[in-house]
Amino acid sequence: MRIIILLAFLCIAGSSIGQTDDEKQLKAIYDKALTDGKAYEWLNYLSNQIGGRLSGSVEAQQAIEYTKRQMDSLGLDRVWLQPVMVPKWTRGTPEFAYIETKPGLTTNVPICALGGSVATPDGGLKGNIIEVQGIEDLEAIGAEKIKGKIVFYNRPMDPTNISTFQSYSGCVDQRYSGAEAAGKYGAAGVIVRSMNLRLDDYPHTGSMGYGETSIANRIPAAAISTNGAELLSTTLKLNPDVKFYFKQNCRQYADVESYNVIGEIRGTTYPNEVMVVGGHLDSWDLGDGSHDDGAGVVQSMDVLRLIKASGYKPKRTIRAVLFMNEENGLRGGNKYAEVAKSKKENHVFALESDAGGFTPRGFSFDCSDEDFEQVLSWKNLFEPYLIHMFVKGGSGADIGPLKDEGLVLAGLRPDSQRYFDHHHAENDTFEHVNKRELELGAATMASLVYLVDKYGFTQQKKVKG
């Protein structure tokens, strides 16, 4: 029995001795995140005590003050607010819509105004419907048939793509540019099928734009739930003369001042080389923005805490940047890049989390082939944590303006299958975020930041040389 116990002890000891410093460091980070994580606690407050954080709102300001307080409490080397002017758009009283099959016979359907849309006339807007599968259909139909009618964009997200973000990209143009395009043909308004893979009763908002269209010629635009879109489409096939009514009371104001929230650990060896980890602090107003992007915000904050708590002393400066106004303007990301370039700051790496708080699967990288090969050399370190997806191409919207020669950009890639069930909708709420999944994401981000800080990138060294 003593021999068996001794052999078991030696095996355990040998395994421990055989671990590399990197394996030990990643384990320390994951252990800390899963036993003493703060991300879920912070998200609980952001979601349930503050709620939706639309740019320019009181709630957005409350989120700024809260996250700054929390980063102040972490003992970072520096925490500050970076002023940025942002658009202020309000939804107003809840939207209302119905399908009218004949006078007096109506069926209510769920809609919501698209962010940036104008209001309907005071009494609402009623008209016949023209159903299309995309903006390209308008030209074939022509202005004569479209004028005065409500254009109904009903192209669904493609369910055959395993990456649901690919499906989103395939149809989001009808949401963003649909009103601008339909207005050129004389349409009175626009209804857009929600960007959602499942059938439910939640309309999904999101940003839209009018391009060069004058204020006087802008038409109202709203999203309809996927169940509502199916009902409307079926009803139109049975009765092409059906009418649609909707009323919304949104309003655009002058820009207001807001802030990016920034916390920093100063590097010990290369303090002038800056690494950014971030998410966007603003959200839409229908839910509380837990997945989009409260998760990315609290994960980024926890990256700094986990790095400190693990005992690692970073060689480079690491910043958590909580960007304002990603949803309807990208002003925070643009302002951060503008200030960084004006100060000639040397950014060497930027990582964003803006794909929900679901189970992390890996990362995407916007970098050279040579730097990507270096990333792939770290893949075996992540395999014990079931992180396996390392792909080239894509990063994050807020860090995109930083792009420069030699700078490596990356995005956390969680499992995406449930993301668009909640994206920009009333059900993007705290109870739909799993604590363990959220913490695994924070640990995965912190681990990548550690590896980049320790080893740097080959291509960057060549650019500097």
Q: Tell me which residue of 25, 226, 210, 28 sits closest to 111, measured CA to CA.
A: 226
- What is d(CA 431, CA 435) in angstroms, rounded to the nearest whole number? 10
Q: What is the DSSP letter of 156?
A: P
The kind and range of the H/E element at 245 are strand 243-247
Instruction: Let me know how long the chain is.
Output: 465
Q: Is 405 a catalytic residue?
A: no
Q: CB of 310 within 8 A of CB of 288?
A: no
Rounded to the nearest 5°, which phi and psi values hold at 171? Answer: -140, 0
Collect all residues with Cβ–Cβ distance below 8 Å to 182 and sequence separation of at least 6: 138, 146, 151, 190, 219
Pairing status of strand 189-193 against strand 105-108: unpaired
For residues 247-258, one letter each, b for 16 or more C-beta atoms within 10 angstroms of the residue's C-beta and e for the rest, the string is bbbbeeeebeeb
**Can you tell me which residue has the tokens 């679901």?**
358
* Residue 413 to residue 403: CA distance in whole angstroms: 19
- Is residue 280 within 8 A of residue 398, CB to CB? The reply is yes
Q: By the 8 A CB rule, do 52 and 288 touch?
A: yes
Q: Give the angle 294-88-92 at the CA atoms, nearest 5°.
A: 90
**Among residues 95, 326, 352, 439, which one is catalytic?**
326
How many whole angstroms separate alpha carbon 7 and alpha carbon 13? 10
Instruction: Categorise residue 403: left if φ over 0, alpha if ψ from -120 to 50, beta otherwise.
Output: beta
CA-to-CA separations, 11 to 4, 8, 14, 16, 344, in angstroms, rounded: 11, 5, 5, 9, 52
CB atoms within 10 A of CB 339: 15
48-76 core/surface letters (b: 16 or more CB in 10 A; e: else): eebbbbbbbbebbbbbbebbbebbeebeb
Q: How many CB atoms lie within 10 A of CB 103?
A: 7
Residues taking part in catalysis: 326
